[in-house]
Amino acid sequence: MTALAETVWVELCPLESIAREQGVAALLPDGTQVAVFRTHDDAVYALGNQDPFSGAWVLSRGILGDIAGVPVVASPMHKQHFDLRTGVCVDDETVSVPTYPVRVVDATILLGQT
């Protein structure tokens, strides 16, 4: 039997550190930047923080909302929208940003790393 790689859950911050319908950036030990968002229903999503169009590490500072029912963040640079669930750019589906598994346990946000 081959052992599957286990997901390691890393504590990021208390849920309360993110106001509803806003995002924050987190820095992982390997230097990766993750944008973590909390939506109106207290769902939490994590995407790569780099805006693939401008190259700036700013997605966490975008406005949250929905486009045709899809939860999105709009890049603060040039307003392209990214699906919070998949990382796919709604305006140009050939472009996407990485997504990260994320969960809330005891009001603390945990980020999954494999």
Partner 1 sequence: MARTLVVVGNGMVGHRLVQALRDRDAAGAWRVVVFAEEARPAYDRVALTSYVDTWNPLALQLDGAEFDGDDRVELNLGDAVVGIDRQARTVTTASGRVQAYDTLALATGSAPFVPPVKGSDLPGCHVYRTIDDLDAIRDTAERARTGLGRGAAMVVGGGLLGLEAAKALRDMGLSPHVVEFAPRLMPLQVDEGGGALLKRLIEELDVTVHAGTTATVIEEDRGRLIAKLTNGVELDLDLVVFSAGIRPRDQLARAAGLTVGERGGIVVDSGCRTSDPHVYAIGECANLDGKVYGLVAPGYAMAEIVADRILGGAATFPGADMSTKLKLMGVDVASFGDAHATEEGALEVVFNDAVKGTYRKLVVSNDAKTLLGGILVGDANDYATLRPMVGRPLPGDPGALLAPAGGSGGGVGVGALPDEAQICSCNAVSKGDISEAIVVGGCDDVTKLKACTKAGTSCGSCVPMLKQLLTVCGVEQSKALCEHFDQSRAELFEIVRVTGITTFSDLIGKHGSGRGCDICKPAVASILASLGNGHILAGEQASLQDTNDRFLANIQRNGTYSVVPRIPGGEITPEKLMVIAQVAQDYGLYTKITGGQRIDLFGATVDQLPGIWKRLVDAGFESGHAYGKALRTVKSCVGSTWCRYGVQDSVGLAVELELRYRGLRSPHKLKSAVSGCARECAEARGKDFGVIATENGWNLYVGGNGGMMPRHADLLVSEVDKETLLKVIDRFLMFYIRTADRLQRTSTWLDAMEGGLDHLRDVVVEDSLGLCAELEAQMAEHVKGYADEWAGVLADPEKLARFTSFVNAPGTPDPTITFREERGQRVPVLLGTPEVIAR
4, 114 contact by CB (below 8 A) = no
Using CB under 8 A, which residues numbered 20 to 79 contact partner 1? 20-22, 24-27, 31, 33, 36, 39-40, 50, 52-58, 61-69, 71-72, 74, 76-77, 79
Q: Is 16 helix (H, G, I), strand (E, B) or coil?
A: helix
Asked if 108 is part of the footprint of partner 1 (rule: CB under 8 A), the reply reads no
For 60-77, b/e burial (b = at least 16 CB within 10 A) is bbbebeeeeeebbbbbee
Residues that bind partner 1 (CB under 8 A): 12-13, 17-22, 24-27, 31, 33, 36, 39-40, 50, 52-58, 61-69, 71-72, 74, 76-77, 79, 81, 94-97
